[in-house]
Amino acid sequence: MTLMAATEAPEVSELIQALRDYVDARNAALIDARRELGVNELDARALLFIADNPGVRPSQLRDYLGITSAGITTLVDRLISRETVARESDEKDRRVVHLTALVDLENEPWSALYRFDTAFQRAADDYPVEQIAEFSDLLGKLTAGTTSRLP
């Protein structure tokens, strides 16, 4: 059964295609950025997560990436050896470790990881704020409704 037959709504099919186009374009930009920076996908995802969540604990990063504790240790060690991330002990509890990005993702070369998002933001600036807010709200609701229906 095709998606069109299942929904009987061409607008929904168009929305799904638009979302696929967005995901494909963003992924292509990230592939180019990773190639330019010489990092693999997992390292790039980890670095972006750490930059967006300064002071994150390795266990939180592990949960986000869905990998093992040993995998996180190896990944963090790799990022530290590249001087992109710092591992710092908590001042109150020395058993706790926090991760912080050392690279500036706002400036070259590391801004390549945000290149698509930055260009998308500039494109979105051409539309009324209300229209963007309405679309964001709808997309959030559709995403939440979808994930609640997945097995």
Closest among 85, 87, 88 to 102, alpha carbons compared = 85
Q: How far is residue 3 CA from its own chain's centroid?
A: 27
Residue 64 pLDDT more than 60?
yes
The 10s digit of each residue's pLDDT in 136-147 is: 999 999 999 998
57 contacts: CB under 8 Å, gap ≥ 6:
96, 97, 98, 99
- Which residue ranges make up each domain of the chain? 40-118
CATH code that applies to domain 40-118: 1.10.10.10
pLDDT tens string 89-129: 988 888 899 999 999 999 999 999 999 999 999 999 999 99
pLDDT at 1 over 50: no
Residue 50 corresponds to which amino acid? Answer: I
Give the model's pLDDT for residue 118.
95
For residue 3, pLDDT beyond 60: no
pLDDT of residue 59: 96
Using alpha carbons, select from 46, 148, 151 the residue that is nearest to residue 105. Answer: 46
Write down the pLDDT at residue 14: 93
For the whole prediction, is pTM greater than 0.85? no
